[in-house]
Structure 1
Amino acid sequence: MCIKTYLLCWLLCLLCPGQLYCSSLKTENLTQKMGTLPSHERLSYLAEITQSDKTAKEAIDLYKAEAEKQADKDHIENALYREAYYYYPDSIDGIEAVLSELEPLLLESKDLRRYFQVEMWYLRILSRTGQKEEVLSRVQQLKKRSNELHYPEAIEMIDQELAYFYLVNNMLQEAKDLYIDVIQRFENRSAPISLRLPVYINLFSCVEDKEQQMELINRAEKIIEQLKQEGVTYLENENPVSQYEMSLEWNYAECLLTNEEYDNALKHIENYGRLLHEQKMTSYLPNLYQLYVTYYYSGKKDYKQTLHYLEKIEDYCREKNIIFNLYSFLKIKADLFVEMGQLKEALSVKDEMIMLNDTLNKTSYHESLATMRTRYEVEQLELENRQMEMESRQHRLQNTFLLCGCMVLILLILILFYVVWIINKNKKALTEAKEKAEEADNMKSAFLANMNHEIRTPLNAIVGFSQVLVDEEDRENRAEFAHIIEQNNELLQRLIGDVLDLSKIESNSMSLITSKQDIAPIMHEIYNTFLFRMQPGVELILDETPDLTLVTDRNRLVQIITNLLTNAMKHTPEGHIRLGYRLEENRVVFYVEDTGVGIPQEQQKTIFDRFVQLENGKKGVGLGLAICHGLITRMKGDIWVESEEGKGSVFYVSIPIGL
């Protein structure tokens, strides 16, 4: 005799954790522990407790009360979520009360996964309690809501509960087709393996082919092993992995019993029983008894053991008032008594079956009508679902086209802005280049005019006094004329030398000849040279010269300080000019200070550019400071000025000790 037909309902209980765990927490211990914790740690502790033991109602109540006391919305939401799981799948009133508080919080925090998970628990209770119309109506509402909230993953969750609804209403083909469709969608989007495990377990009840059953068992077994290796203990639907491991053992044993492989089946029956006792899930024991009934009755013909387990299941059915299953087991029990030759006991069981049959017949007609109506509503629901899916695809396609159009438009706008930016940038660069070219041209013109004037002055003096020198007979006058010619010759050589130096600097062809130099003698030499060139009313001061050896180009160093002193003399009509140097870390800082006219603030940034002169009427070509800047740059040093108009200037030159 095949017992599987009579016992399908036991399989449907396997996926409902509800209050099947035996809570090990005691209110007294928990309250004592709470009293030792500071307030800021209590919520975290209770959250951990209710996560590890989901059926600890006392802990859930304490968690909820403490969260409300501290006005912590996140923990209030989490406590209500734990309470909803506690009431699932047996207390419809309890979960409805929690839903009214929890759902607004979940929507406010946009935790859509938990929102739809709670709805799935509610659907499961409705299916188990036979509220068919409510299930179909709520499925339709939830699918619309998932589209409104743009959460397509909820459709897969809803379809799984709809398939479960088909399963409990014995619509096995519809359940099978929908489960397979859900699996296909999971594979298409490469969904996590943990999502597929419940579908494989449920789908087992919908197929009868042994190869298909074994394939589902193998897939589920691989997923469970992988989850164990990854340390995963709970799935997304809050159900423990251990529960699915027990379901897998049940499926394995059922498959082997159906195919009369009784010896192999016994191992999985014992594994199932071991897992039940390890997890203290006593409410699953009737499923274990059902497996032993099949094993001893069909496999071993051990009627005594069969009767023992039948009586255990019979007690459970009477306690839970499961009339249909009780009738099925009484029929098996009556047949068993007949085979055992105990006709009196068999007759007594038959009398009880007649009484139960009257009760079943009264509900059979209504159930048949309800089943027909359910099938009709299911077909209507499927049509509406297909229409909704088509509308959803159309909306997604429209949104995709709109998004692509917006992206193309944004791209074109960005390209346009980029082109305009490039054009403006080029225009600005062109304008700046033009201004610099014009400025350079003006500076060159001024430079050439100054050079023409500066060169002609000594040349005229040389030519003029050369002619006078020929005709002059007085010895003293001849000596004075020769001295004037010599001075103008030196001035002309300096002008030409400055132009050549600047040319070398700009062409990067000037080379430095470095060697160790004692700085103090060089400074005294420069001081003595300029001492007799000072104008009346101007004092030249040389500060203290400490001993210092510097690796540098002597001639270029002298040229830099000489140019700075010449510049100071040119702009200092009275007062003093001070020069000197000091050591700062690994650098030498030279300075030339004057009490001259000073440099305006706006001209201090350009004072070291070539051809630049102050607008004070002083003659010159404006190359001295530019040459200083170029030489110091070659020496890897710095030059800067501190000046206040009307009070004088200080020029600083910083050169590294080891050039």
Structure 2
Amino acid sequence: SLSAVIGKNIQDLKIDNTIFSCCKKYIQEGSTFTREITLKDIVCLISSFETITPDGEDVRIYIIKDVTELRRLKEQLYHADKLASIGQLVSGVAHELNNPLTGILGYTELLKMKVKDDSITKELDKIYKAAERCKKIVENLLTFSRQKPPERTYVDINDLIDSAIELRIYWFRSNNIEVIRDFAELPAVYVDPQQLQQVFMNLIVNAEYAVMESNKAQKMIKIKTYKREDQDKIRIEVQDNGIGIPEDQIGRIFDPFFTTKPVDKGSGLGLSISHGIIKEHNGEIWVESTPGEGTTFYIELPIK
């Protein structure tokens, strides 16, 4: 607390040595400096300069400011601009692919009706399934680059999450995945229920994959909701104890087509789509992860 440090000698305070080690060179030179360093999960901006007190004493002033939130907001702004540019590109490509894929599916169905040879029919089935998969990817692309505004109504976020969980309940039970609901009583939020349920489903499916890939005996997904007391917002946390996300990949997790899964397990669009939906609702989404321990996705949505 502030009262615990005012008037104390800086050497008596438990300050991370990283601060002093990064400042040592400048102190020896007697120069002014400003540097940004990371202390565990906190990004600090350190400024220091020498001055003279009214009593004529030479002193050095240190200013240490927590800029973690500012850094996160800057990264989100950069990411949003990048996604907007990619969205315009993929929209055009997706529309161009949609028509020929529809033709492939239609003509394959016609051929299956006319061909009596089972071996040929099996090959046609393979073509149809491959084209269907391509069409699904195109649909995801169009969703990612969608232009239509959300169709909003007042809903209970807890009900939307419950609905998403129920759609996967058989899978949870079959694979011994424990799902913990920690829901607070929330005010109704003005959102598009279909879009938000899509976000929750994406996060839940990702959590499923993460816990199934881990070798832990107890597989757990915890979903928590609560109202921020300091702000007019609600927060949703989707936590798993799965494999986690490697540190060198977490910065790309919302990029389109980026995925940590094998090729046949995902298109790499789910989180990009979720990011876009939350942004359209004037909300925020971010992630924290520790490899080998698990991942938590955070969503904040305005109440008004």
TM-score (norm 2): 0.52
Q: Secondary structure at the match of 1:605?
A: helix
Query: Following TM superposition, by how much is the alpha carbon of 1:579 offset from its aligned partner in structure 2, in angstroms?
Result: 2.2
Q: Secondary structure at the match of 1:633?
A: helix
Output the CA distance in 2 between the equivalents of 1:529 and 1:552.
20
The answer to whether structure 1 residue 612 and structure 2 residue 254 are counterparts is no
CA deviation profile, 1:184-243 (whole Å, cap 9, x unmatched): xxxxxxxxxxxxxxxxxxxxxxxxxxxxxxxxxxxxxxxxxxxxxxxxxxxxxxxxxxxx
1:588 paired residue number: 234
- CA spacing shift, 1:535–1:503, aligned 2, 3 Å: farther
- CA spacing shift, 1:521–1:564, aligned 2, 3 Å: same
Output the CA distance in 1 between the equivalents of 2:131 and 2:204.
20
2:289 paired residue number: 643
% of aligned pairs identical? Answer: 27
Output the CA distance in 1 between the equivalents of 2:250 and 2:135.
29
Q: Secondary structure at the match of 2:211?
A: coil
1:567 corresponds to which of 206, 215, 219? 206
CA contact (8 A) 1:519 1:547 kept: no
CA contact (8 A) 1:599 1:645 kept: yes
Output the CA distance in 1 between the equivalents of 2:211 and 2:112.
35
1:516 paired residue number: 154
Output the CA distance in 2 between the equivalents of 1:615 and 1:518.
32
TM-score (norm 1): 0.26
Output the CA distance in 2 between the equivalents of 1:490 and 1:555.
23
Point out the structure with max Rg over C-alpha: 1
2:273 paired residue number: 627
Query: Following TM superposition, by how much is the alpha carbon of 1:578 offset from its aligned partner in structure 2, in angstroms?
Result: 2.4
Q: Secondary structure at the match of 1:601?
A: coil
Output the CA distance in 1 between the equivalents of 2:155 and 2:234.
13
CA contact (8 A) 1:531 1:540 kept: no
Output the CA distance in 2 between the equivalents of 1:593 and 1:625.
15
Query: Following TM superposition, by how much is the alpha carbon of 1:557 offset from its aligned partner in structure 2, in angstroms?
Result: 0.8
CA contact (8 A) 1:563 1:628 kept: yes
- CA spacing shift, 1:526–1:619, aligned 2, 3 Å: closer
Higher fraction of strand: 2
1:578 paired residue number: 222
Query: Which one-letter code corresponds to 2:197 in the other structure?
Result: V
Query: Following TM superposition, by how much is the alpha carbon of 1:494 offset from its aligned partner in structure 2, in angstroms?
Result: 4.9
Instruction: Give the gaps of 5 or more residues in structure 1.
Output: 1-435, 472-486
1:229 paired residue number: none
Output the CA distance in 2 between the equivalents of 1:496 and 1:541.
32
Output the CA distance in 1 between the equivalents of 2:227 and 2:135.
34
- CA spacing shift, 1:572–1:617, aligned 2, 3 Å: farther
CA deviation profile, 1:554-602 (whole Å, cap 9, x unmatched): 1111111111112222333151222232211311111222222210112
* Structure possessing the higher relative contact order (Cα contacts under 8 Å, 6 or more residues apart): 2
Query: Following TM superposition, by how much is the alpha carbon of 1:653 offset from its aligned partner in structure 2, in angstroms?
Result: 0.8
Q: Which consecutive segments of 4 or more residues in structure 1 shift more than 6 A?
A: 487-493
CA deviation profile, 1:13-72 (whole Å, cap 9, x unmatched): xxxxxxxxxxxxxxxxxxxxxxxxxxxxxxxxxxxxxxxxxxxxxxxxxxxxxxxxxxxx
- CA spacing shift, 1:491–1:647, aligned 2, 3 Å: farther
1:601 paired residue number: 247
2:190 paired residue number: 551
1:539 corresponds to which of 170, 177, 180? 177
CA deviation profile, 1:137-181 (whole Å, cap 9, x unmatched): xxxxxxxxxxxxxxxxxxxxxxxxxxxxxxxxxxxxxxxxxxxxx
Query: Following TM superposition, by how much is the alpha carbon of 1:515 offset from its aligned partner in structure 2, in angstroms?
Result: 1.4
Query: Following TM superposition, by how much is the alpha carbon of 1:491 offset from its aligned partner in structure 2, in angstroms?
Result: 6.7
The answer to whether structure 1 residue 499 and structure 2 residue 145 are counterparts is no
Instruction: Give the gaps of 5 or more residues in structure 2.
Output: 1-81, 117-128
Higher fraction of helix: 1
CA contact (8 A) 1:570 1:618 kept: no
Output the CA distance in 2 between the equivalents of 1:516 and 1:615.
35
RMSD: 4.4
CA contact (8 A) 1:538 1:572 kept: no
Output the CA distance in 2 between the equivalents of 1:488 and 1:540.
34
Output the CA distance in 1 between the equivalents of 2:289 and 2:140.
25
Query: Which one-letter code corresponds to 1:593 in the other structure?
Result: Q
Q: Secondary structure at the match of 1:560?
A: helix
Output the CA distance in 2 between the equivalents of 1:520 and 1:592.
13
Output the CA distance in 1 between the equivalents of 2:189 and 2:139.
25
Output the CA distance in 2 between the equivalents of 1:490 and 1:577.
31
Query: Following TM superposition, by how much is the alpha carbon of 1:467 offset from its aligned partner in structure 2, in angstroms?
Result: 5.1
1:655 paired residue number: 301
